[in-house]
Amino acid sequence: MTASPSLLQVSPSDAELVRRVRQGDLDAYGPLMTRYRLRFGRYAYHLLGNESDAEEALQDAFTLAYRSLDRCRHPERFAAWLFRILVNRCRTTGARRGREQARRAPLEAADGIGVHHPSEEAMRREELARGLGRLVPEQREAFLLKYVEELSYEEMAELTGAGESALKMRVKRACERLRDLLSDTDAS
Amino acid sequence: MHPDDRSDEPRDPFIERLAAQLREPVSLSPEVERVVLDRLRARPTQRRWPAVAAGLAAGIAAAFAAGLLVGRWTAAPPAGGSSVRPVEFALRTPADSAVVVVGDFNDWNPAATPLHRASDGVWSVTVPLRPGRYRYTFIVDGTRWRRDPAAPPALEDDFGAPTSVITIAQR
């Protein structure tokens, strides 16, 4: 996974913060979490389908990462390591709860529009969330990694353990399914 | 993203529009960090590895002999002086579809470490582990978390779900 240029320029670096945390400075972990909460939270939010589960998955991933920090072999690549933990955490969240079918589709619009008269934008968000929710989990995961997180297939394979051919097929199927589900409402 | 990665795929304007919407920021509570820090302060990481593995294994073996446990793990001596030790995770369960183990050693990846069922009904897998402390749990049939009855529960109840802990001692 490639860190964005803006994240490469921040100071102190991830590696420096990881070093401080390893030395016992728990407060140094706060900036690390803040740095990746929204960026990685977006993935969890779209994969799990709601704010509450996304925040819980994030909390768990941050906690797991902290407790396993001694095993982060390349602190300068903390972001990629953390994201791997989050991706796996999102998978086990689904497994743990077995509630993929009960996935809550409606998403609260970021602009706070009320439920009685949702804006056109909010309705599009909701339709898109419903469409994502109807993908099988593997396809939803592959689609988000490819098109939203913009990973290469090589990176996706490393992250998920699946073969590149299988991932391409999952993305292809996801696109076809989303087109079938959403083309009537066109998300333009 | 690798610029050429999708060069062999037709660009689909419809899908690109969906993706653009999904790339927009989402609103998540800044309380996430506070909750995690509170959790970590309440239950600090046990970074020192207590030399209890041998005693623990003996206790578990005794419990097995007494028929008290339905799961097991064993840590065999390292081969060739390597610090990596093969550790067997096992669970007796009537599940007939799938059992996996997830934990600190595989980044909690449910696809990484499936167990295999023997004729005696015990599901097991052997994982090479370095000395350290690992939390883990079994996932049965893709939905149910099962703590290992042959290992102590993890003290850090981070997830409100059953997890176990195994400690491989330094040699």
Partner B contacted by A116 (CB < 8 A): no
Partner B contacted by A181 (CB < 8 A): no
State pLDDT tens for residues B112-171: 899 998 888 889 999 999 888 888 999 888 777 888 888 888 766 556 667 888 888 876
Q: What is the pLDDT of residue B29?
A: 85
Q: What is the pLDDT of residue A5?
A: 43
**What's the whole-number mean pLDDT along residues A160-175?**
93
Is residue B114 one of the residues assigned to a domain? yes
User: Under an 8 A CB cutoff, do B15 and A63 touch?
Assistant: no
Is residue B38 one of the residues assigned to a domain? no
Q: What is the pLDDT of residue A11?
A: 76
Is residue B31 one of the residues assigned to a domain? no
Gap from A87 CA to chain B (nearest CA, Å):
8
A95 contacts in B (CB within 8 Å)? 110, 139, 142-143, 145
Among partner residues A110, A148, A152, which is closest to B22 by beta-carbon distance? Answer: A148
Contact B137, B162 (CB under 8 A): yes
Partner B contacted by A122 (CB < 8 A): no
For chain B, how many structural domains are there in total?
1
B25 contacts in A (CB within 8 Å)? 38, 42, 110
Confidence of residue A187 (pLDDT cuts 50, 70, 90): very low
State pLDDT tens for residues A142-154: 999 999 999 999 9
Gap from A182 CA to chain B (nearest CA, Å):
9
Partner B contacted by A186 (CB < 8 A): yes
Q: What is the pLDDT of residue B82?
A: 57
In order of their start, the domains of chain A are 1-98 (1.10.1740.10), 119-183 (1.10.10.10)
Is residue B24 one of the residues assigned to a domain? no
User: Under an 8 A CB cutoff, do A26 and B37 touch?
Assistant: yes
B109 contacts in A (CB within 8 Å)? 88, 91, 161
Partner B contacted by A126 (CB < 8 A): no
Lowest mean pLDDT among A1-15, A73-87, B121-135: A1-15
A2 contacts in B (CB within 8 Å)? 1
The answer to whether residue B4 scores a pLDDT higher than 70 is no
Is residue B37 one of the residues assigned to a domain? no
Q: What is the pLDDT of residue B143?
A: 74
A173 contacts in B (CB within 8 Å)? none
CB pairs below 8 Å between A and B: how many?
A: 155
What range defines the domain where residue B84 resides? 53-168
Test mutation, A48, A83, A96, A100, chain B, max B CBs within 10 A: A96
Is residue B152 one of the residues assigned to a domain? yes
Lowest mean pLDDT among A16-30, A84-98, B117-131: A84-98
What's the ipTM?
A: 0.80
Q: What is the pLDDT of residue A86?
A: 94
Percentage of residues in chain A with pLDDT exceeding 70? 79
Q: What is the pLDDT of residue A123?
A: 79
The answer to whether residue A134 scores a pLDDT higher than 90 is yes
Is residue B28 one of the residues assigned to a domain? no
Partner A contacted by B32 (CB < 8 A): yes
State pLDDT tens for residues B30-46: 889 999 998 888 876 64
User: Under an 8 A CB cutoff, do A95 and B156 touch?
Assistant: no
Q: What is the pLDDT of residue B85?
A: 87
CATH of the domain at B71: 2.60.40.10
Lowest mean pLDDT among B59-68, B87-96, B159-168: B59-68
DSSP secondary structure, chain B, as one string: --TTTTTTS---HHHHHHHHHHTS-----THHHHHHHHHHHHS----S--TTHHHHHHHHHHHHHTT--SEEEEEPPPGGG-S-EEEEEEEE---SS-EEEEEGGGTT-TTT-B-EE-TTSEEEEEEEE-SEEEEEEEEETTTEEE--TTSPBPS---SSS--EEEEEPP-
Is residue B108 one of the residues assigned to a domain? yes
Q: How many CB atoms lie within 10 A of CB B84?
A: 14
The answer to whether residue A118 scores a pLDDT higher than 70 is no
Q: Which residue has the higher pLDDT, B102 or B59?
A: B102
Please, which residues have CB within 8 angstroms of residue A1's CB and are 6 or more apart in sequence?
A79, A80, A83, A149, A151, A155, A159
Percentage of residues in chain B with pLDDT exceeding 70? 65
